[in-house]
Amino acid sequence: MAEGDRRRRRFTIVGAGLGGALTAVFLGRRGHEVRVFERRNDPRTGPLGRSRSINLAISVRGLHALEQVGLAAPVLEAAVPMRGRRIHAPSGAIAFQPYGSSAEHVLRSVSRAALNRILVEAAESIPNVEVTFGRRCVGVELDRAAATFEVLGTGAVEVQEADAVVGGDGAFSEVRAAMQRTDRFECSQSYLEHGYKELTIPPGRDGRHALEPDALHIWPRGGFMTIALPNRDGSFTCTCFWPFDGEHGFSALTGRDEVLAYFERVFPDLARLIPGLDEEFRENPVGSLVTVRCAPWHHRGRAVLLGDAAHAVVPFYGQGANAAFEDCVVLDECLVGGDGDLEGAFRRFESRRKEHADALADLALGNFVEMRDRTASRLFLAGKKAEKVLNRLFPRSFVPLYQLVTFSRTPYADAVRRARRQWRAVFWAFALLGLGLLAAASMVILR
């Protein structure tokens, strides 16, 4: 037991997804008794489900968390490095936009299933951690830290008591639902008018990627878009982020001919890369995109939320998993320094993370507009070039917001504040320069 963790605690973790599984690893390594319960199948023996398989972009924050428990190497081995975005115009022209100004500015594309398998395996390798699948949480008695689970397939019910319940059960968390029934708990859910549908671009005949694998591919179409992220097996996970309704909505495409004609008209190069496009498009479900904000994240030292259960965000900044992993690191630090006081540890955890989770939610929503509407515009590209020039001239004092968020561990809200200060400084510098030139010109004229 590490210093600061003087008491061996019993934790029930609801959800063996990314945040829940990594939390189990952190807690297990500290010597706590951990039991994890997951509704879905074991990711090592069965599919996770089509509706939750958007590929993930692991960045500095996520890698740092994985490094703390020795899991960075296997994750990197399962990932594909991406140096930037490749923008596909309707004309077929492709433009490359690097993520940053350094060769180190690389994101790692990894499938959710592959990452989840690594985390679950790591959790189960710890003797004091037990992971059980096929258990659906149907209720939580917060003051007792007692979670009730239905055994899927039999209908039997099990009650698990612990010192604390950790809600790592996603955007539609049952643990959070229990908290919502307590006094003064605040929670909001905000849905986009867009949903998402996943498709697959298989490897080419030679087994290699059909597109350049070094980038996130984006087909921006003004108001909606399609993206593709590379996988290690030569395939791409392709995701359509479209409105639910309207001319370019999912509901408008129901028949085989409609699907094929639409892709040939709007995404002609993409249409040729997906065999059986019409069948896959009609069979795969449409998922919703939700932002969740809530407070408090804990209940009297008996329950705590993390990851999507506390702060679900839309996926357009590529930071959802990274933020969840960062939660795991901070929660671990708060527990180690808490001298056994779970309520104090949970309170410190929320105070260190809540502001930054809210900032990330706003960033992710804003980046959706950027990706779908602006990445192909000349004004946007000019702004990015200006950022690069300023960063090269003043590498320590001017760092673009995207780099602060993606390639550093600067807390999200701090990154936003710094970016605003930087642009204010640039504005006033140019304003003063303009005034100086105007004054000089006036003196010349008056001579």
- Split at pLDDT 50, 70, 90, the class of 47 is low
Given a cut of 80, whether residue 69 has pLDDT beyond it is yes
Query: Residue 114 carries which side chain, given as an amino acid letter?
Result: A
User: Is the pTM here over 0.85, yes or no?
Assistant: yes
pLDDT, tens digit, for every residue of 243-276? 999 999 999 998 889 999 999 999 999 999 999 9
Give the pLDDT mean for 78-105: 92
Give the pLDDT mean for 409-436: 78
**63 closest CA partner among 50, 74, 52, 47:** 74
Structure tokens at 73: 């190497």
How high does pLDDT run on average in the chain?
91
- Split at pLDDT 50, 70, 90, the class of 51 is very low
Confidence at residue 1, expressed as pLDDT on a 0 to 100 scale: 44
Confidence at residue 101, expressed as pLDDT on a 0 to 100 scale: 78
Weakest mean pLDDT among 149-153, 155-159, 386-390: 386-390
**412 closest CA partner among 333, 345, 340, 313:** 313
Cβ 27 vs Cβ 7: under 8 Å: no
Confidence at residue 438, expressed as pLDDT on a 0 to 100 scale: 60
- Split at pLDDT 50, 70, 90, the class of 447 is low
Confidence at residue 56, expressed as pLDDT on a 0 to 100 scale: 96
Weakest mean pLDDT among 75-79, 115-119, 371-375: 371-375
310 contact partners, CB below 8 Å, separation of at least 6: 167, 176, 292, 294, 297, 327, 353, 357
* Residue written as token pair 């992971």: 131
Domain spans, the chain: 10-79+110-189+290-368, 378-446
Higher pLDDT, 375 or 60: 60
pLDDT, tens digit, for every residue of 310-341? 999 999 999 999 999 999 999 999 999 777 89
Give the pLDDT mean for 422-438: 63
**Measured between alpha carbons, how far is 68 from 403 in angstroms, rounded to an integer?**
22
Output the CA–CA distances (angstroms, integers) from residue 124 to 41, 117, 120, in the order listed.
15, 11, 6
- Split at pLDDT 50, 70, 90, the class of 13 is very high
Other Cβ atoms closer than 10 A to 237: 20
Query: Residue 168 carries which side chain, given as an amino acid letter?
Result: G
Given a cut of 50, whether residue 100 has pLDDT beyond it is yes
**Measured between alpha carbons, how far is 148 from 64 in angstroms, rounded to an integer?**
34
- Split at pLDDT 50, 70, 90, the class of 4 is very low
pLDDT, tens digit, for every residue of 277-307? 999 999 999 999 999 999 999 999 999 999 9
- Class of the CATH-defined domain 10-79+110-189+290-368: alpha beta
Weakest mean pLDDT among 4-8, 403-407, 413-417, 429-433: 429-433
**Measured between alpha carbons, how far is 447 from 442 in angstroms, rounded to an integer?**
9
pLDDT, tens digit, for every residue of 341-394? 999 999 999 999 999 999 999 999 999 887 776 665 677 667 777 777 877 777
